[in-house]
Structures are given as structure tokens and as C-alpha cells.
């Protein structure tokens, strides 16, 4: 069986391409570095993280202050022996196109363009290349034609010619028509988009035209995928933002984002990558044809099964470089981490619990965020399961204003941690909850309020400790000890629903990792384990 989600944990906005017997898939990474994870499969059932499209800090300016900035909605395509990936960096309002001969290898320096929201790249039969994007999402955007495109000169790497208006949306005055992809199938050009916003009312809709520039006619059966009509109790919600792929045998599949809820309407893992079969009827694609909604399982394709070797639960940090699963929050131009003598060393850089500063939206839309690319003293990996155990061994001497340990974070203002710290001259181990909530109905009136609560605290005379966070669904417990065999509960039963993306806000998902925060010092981590 194919089990959904095919790529669990924070992996939204999937874009897929088939090259021979291989499938490659890219997802959004927002303000995490490296940028744009790339996955590989040969059977659509088993997937392996193989690389990132942005691995050079010089090419990707990010800041940790707004996790939901950064890289939005990539499109991955293959043309004439080369891979192309187009994506917008919303932190600096710049569109990037990078290329590679092999997605596992080095990707090019970005070719840069002004902001194009959720861009798609498409080659017509005459060899011309077209960039399609959500014009209505841009300053001074086109409200008559919400989805537009322009030609790209691949020799000069410039947009040329006029902007063609293609389509508005399926629903009249639909919220956020975005994520366009163009396909040429048979005698028709198909334009598939997302609309309804990326929360509960997300949907996939489609239109077609006999010519590339339209006019595009919407399908009477729209939306072709949504769960917005289902109850908040349905275990998969907000499905949308899809991409299509054709197999060698002529069968089709769609990949798309969705979220698993648990312990209430909470989406701790954010938006994940799902898949469903597609059939064509009367010239239109029908997704998940037997049920009309995303299921947790589908029969396997006719492709030979191709599992990958399971990665070990424990990382001993003995290699020369970090495993692919690890991400920084922001661009690590300030090198907050290093591998040394079989340990991960994290320097205290900033804090994972900052105070909220409301962004100047007008300034951002005029010229992007103004910042020096940098990362926090945090190294994390995606939470991929509702129930798990995460633990590490830390060596750290806290000083006034510094603390380090193990954390789960959803965004800048919502997380939990178990950490070594100093309190009134005493060295302590403590469990901490950091929560945020929104006040005000409209965006202009919105205020984010946050507070930090110490759940439990014990004196600790040692420089070393084993720290663990254990989750049984939304019930989170914090444990500590001198070694793994003798762990003691520090706090049990914290309801983690408050770190769900729907509750805490933002476009990302929970990360679990190690950190050092505050006014200085370094923490050393001997190993990390996630089960």
C-alpha cells in the first residue's frame, strides 16, 4: 500500500517530476536552512531525502525572526537534460531559478527576478519558456486575471514580452488563488491552481484552454480536491496546492499538501505531503476517483517496490558533516554550530523565545525585510509522528542569561523545552512552556501576545545531563538524568495542542532539536535520538 502522508512532517507545497524511472519532489522550507528539501522515489511509496536546492549560505538570505518568511512554493521541472527549480524568497521579495544536471549534486547560483508569487515554469512545444504566477498576490496585482504569465528568455535570464492574464478562480472572488501549474495534455492546456487559503478551506481547482494564453474555461466539477466540506473532526484537513505527474504506463497521480489533526483541531506537524491516484474522465482529471477525498492508504502502483535503507534513530555526530535531516533556523552565516571531537557544539546565538515585534508590512512589500542573514543557536529536525521520544546528552555550564537544552518549536513564539539554566545563582534543570496567541480580528489590528511559564524546576549540580521529551499524542512529558538508564520525570502531561500551526499561527510545522540561547557560552551535545 501507499501510506499517506508519503513525506510526513513539515513538507508543504509539493512539486513533483518524473525522469525515466525516478521521481523527484521538492517542498517549501520557509526560513529554515538549507533551503528546499529534495526527495527521491522509484515507486511513489518510499521516499528518501537526497539533497537541498540551496546549500550555500551566500545564496540564500534568511533571518530567524519570521519563520514563515523565506522560500515559498517551489516548482520543480526537468527539461532538455536539466533540472529547474523556481521559488520566491518572501523575506527579500526575490524570485530565484536554480538548475542542476543531477538533483543530488550541486545546484547553480540563483538567477534572480522580482517577486513572482508561487511561480511555475513551463515549456511549450515551440521551446518557449513561461513563468506563471499569482498576480493578484503581488503589489498592484491583476484582479481581473488573478493568474498570469510571462515569457522567460533563458539565454538572458530575463522576463520578456507582455503579461498574459489567464484565469481568475473557480469560486467567485475566491480567497488566495495561487500555486498555478500548467500542463499540456492531448489537445488541451490545463491550468491547475489552489484557492481558498491554505487553512481549512483550501482547495484544488482547474481550467483548460485550446491555446497557451487562453481563454481558460473552469471545470464544472471544481474543486477537484478539497476537504473544506468535511467536519473539523476529519483526521486529514486543508488539502490543496497540488501537482500532477504521469507514469510511464500512462497512469497519473497528484501530490498535494494536507495536515493530520490530533488531540483536537491541532496540526503540530504543519502541512505534510500526500498523494492520490488520478484518472481522466471527459477530458478532466479526477483525483481519488472512488471517494473524492484524500485517504490514508491507496493500493500501490504497478511500479516495482523500491524501499530505502532505514536511517538510524541515533545521530552520534561522528561524521565530518551533519546528516541531511538537520536544519538551522535562518542562514548560518554566523556559524552557530560545529562538529568537534564527535560532538555537536552550539554557540548561544539569540533566543528561541523572542518577544513579538509586529512586522512593517508596507516596508516588507516595498523592499523585503531588512536584516543581516543569520541563524539562531538551534539545530532541529522535523517532527514526523504524533507519538515519539526525543532525547540527547548535553554538556553545558549555564551563566546568568544563558540556557541550553532540548526543544520543540512551532514558530518564534510557541514551543516547549527542557533545559539547563541558572536561577538566582543556582544551576537548575527546568521544563518550560512558551505560548502565543492572537488578539484582534483583522490583520491591521492583530497583536501577538506571548508568555513563558516554568512548569517545573530542580537543582542540578552537574555540567552534563540526559534530557528527553516524550510525546503520547498531545501529552508531552519531560525527563532528565545522569544517564539513559536512570531518567526521572520532571513534568508530565503538558497538552501540546497550543503549538499546532492552526493555534500558534504561521505556515511551518514543529521542529525538534538542540539549542543554546542567551548571552554567550557553548553547549556540547554527544548524541541525539528520535524514535
pLDDT tens, residue by residue, 87-146? 999 999 999 999 999 999 999 999 999 999 999 999 999 999 999 999 877 666 666 779
What are the angstrom distances between the C-alpha of 68 and each of 33, 200, 206, 435, 445? 13, 18, 27, 17, 19
CATH number for the domain that contains residue 196 = 2.115.10.20
* Catalytic residue flag (residue 13): yes
Which pLDDT score, from 0 to 100, does residue 143 have? 65
Which pLDDT score, from 0 to 100, does residue 265 have? 96
Contact criterion met (CB below 8 Å) for 418 and 468: yes
Contact criterion met (CB below 8 Å) for 187 and 210: yes
Domain boundary among 298, 332, 351: 298
pTM score of the predicted model: 0.96
* Catalytic residue flag (residue 178): yes
Does residue 304 sit within a domain?
no
Does residue 197 sit within a domain?
yes
Q: Does an H or E element contain 504, and which?
A: helix 501-504
> Could you tell me if residue 335 is left (phi over 0), alpha (psi between -120 and 50 degrees) or otherwise beta?
left
Which pLDDT score, from 0 to 100, does residue 17 have? 98
Domain boundary among 298, 322, 348: 298
Which pLDDT score, from 0 to 100, does residue 360 have? 55
Q: Do residues 248 and 362 share a domain? A: no
Cell of 29: 522550507
Q: Do residues 413 and 274 share a domain? A: no
Instruction: Report the chain's terminal Cα–Cα distance, integer Å.
Output: 23
Domain boundary among 251, 270, 298: 298
**Which residue numbers in the chain have pLDDT < 70?**
138-143, 354-369, 437-448
Which pLDDT score, from 0 to 100, does residue 363 have? 55
* Domain assignment of residue 264, given as a range: 2-298
Which pLDDT score, from 0 to 100, does residue 442 have? 54
Q: Does an H or E element contain 366, and which?
A: helix 361-367
Domain count, the chain: 2
Which one from 178, 272, 315, 522 is the annotated catalytic residue? 178
- Dist. CA 198–CA 407, nearest whole Å: 27
Amino acid at each position: 500500500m501507499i501510506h499517506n502522508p508519503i513525506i510526513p512532517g513539515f513538507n508543504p507545497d509539493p512539486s513533483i517530476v518524473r525522469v525515466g524511472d525516478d521521481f523527484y519532489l521538492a517542498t517549501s522550507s520557509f526560513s529554515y536552512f538549507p533551503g528546499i528539501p529534495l526527495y527521491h522515489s522509484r515507486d511513489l511509496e518510499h521516499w528518501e531525502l537526497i539533497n537541498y536546492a540551496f546549500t550555500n549560505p551566500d545564496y540564500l538570505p534568511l533571518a530567524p525572526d519570521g519563520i514563515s518568511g523565506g522560500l515559498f512554493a517551489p516548482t520543480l521541472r526537468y527539461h532538455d537534460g536539466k533540472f529547474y527549480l523556481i521559488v520566491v524568497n518572501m523575506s527579500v521579495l526575490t524570485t530565484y531559478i536554480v538548475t542542476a544536471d543531477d538533483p543530488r549534486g550541486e545546484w547553480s547560483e540563483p538567477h534572480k527576478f522580482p517577486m513572482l508569487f508561487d511561480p511555475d515554469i513551463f515549456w511549450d512545444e515551440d521551446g518557449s519558456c513561461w513563468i506563471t504566477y499569482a498576480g493578484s498576490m503581488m503589489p498592484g496585482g491583476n484582479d481581473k486575471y488573478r493568474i498570469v504569465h510571462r515569457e522567460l528568455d533563458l539565454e538572458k535570464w530575463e522576463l520578456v514580452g507582455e503579461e498574459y492574464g489567464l484565469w481568475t478562480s473557480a469560486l467567485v472572488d475566491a480567497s488566495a488563488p495561487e500555486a498555478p501549474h500548467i500542463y499540456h495534455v492531448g489537445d488541451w492546456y490545463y491550468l491547475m491552481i489552489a484557492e481558498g487559503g491554505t487553512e481549512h478551506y483550501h482547495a484544488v481547482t482547474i481550467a483548460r484552454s485550446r491555446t497557451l494564453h487562453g481563454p481558460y474555461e473552469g471545470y464544472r466539477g471544481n474543486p477537484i480536491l478539497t476537504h473544506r466540506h468535511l467536519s473539523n473532526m476529519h483526521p486529514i484537513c486543508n488539502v490543496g496546492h497540488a501537482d500532477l505527474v504521469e507514469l510511464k504506463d500512462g497512469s497519473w497521480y497528484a501530490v498535494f499538501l494536507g495536515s493530520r489533526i490530533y488531540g483536537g483541531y491541532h496540526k503540530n506537524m504543519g502541512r505534510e505531503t500526500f498523494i492520490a491516484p488520478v484518472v481522466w474522465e471527459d477530458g478532466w482529471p479526477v483525483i481519488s476517483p472512488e471517494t473524492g477525498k484524500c485517504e490514508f492508504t491507496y493500493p500501490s502502483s504497478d511500479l516495482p517496490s523500491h524501499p530505502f535503507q532505514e536511517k538510524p534513530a541515533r545521530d552520534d555526530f561522528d561524521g565530518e558533516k551533519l546528516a541531511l535531516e538537520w536544519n538551522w533556523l535562518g542562514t548560518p552565516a554566523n556559524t552557530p554550530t560545529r562538529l568537534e571531537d564527535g560532538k555537536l557544539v552550539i554557540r548561544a546565538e539569540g533566543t528561541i523565545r523572542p518577544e513579538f515585534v509586529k512586522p512593517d508590512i508596507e516596508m516588507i512589500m516595498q523592499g523585503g525585510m531588512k536584516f543581516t542573514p543569520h541563524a539562531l543557536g538551534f539545530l532541529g529536525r522535523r517532527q514526523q509522528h504524533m507519538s515519539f521520544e526525543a532525547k540527547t546528552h548535553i554538556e553545558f555550564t549555564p551563566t546568568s542569561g544563558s540556557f541550553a537544552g532540548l526543544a520543540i518549536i512551532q514558530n518564534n513564539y510557541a514551543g516547549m523545552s527542557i533545559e539547563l539554566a541558572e536561577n538566582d545563582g543556582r544551576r537548575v534543570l527546568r521544563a518550560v512552556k512558551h505560548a502565543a496567541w492572537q488578539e484582534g480580528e483583522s490583520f491591521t489590528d492583530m497583536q501577538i501576545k506571548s508568555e513563558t511559564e516554568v512548569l517545573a524546576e530542580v537543582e542540578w549540580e552537574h555540567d552534563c545531563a540526559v534530557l528527553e521529551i516524550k510525546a503520547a499524542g498531545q501529552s508531552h512529558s519531560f525527563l532528565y538524568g545522569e544517564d539513559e538508564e536512570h531518567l526521572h520525570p520532571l513534568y508530565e502531561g503538558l497538552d501540546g495542542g497550543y503549538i499546532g500551526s492552526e493555534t500558534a499561527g504561521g505556515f511551518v510545522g514543529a521542529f525538534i532539536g538542540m539549542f543554546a540561547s542567551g548571552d554567550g557560552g557553548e553547549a556540547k551535545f554527544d548524541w541525539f535520538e528520535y524514535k
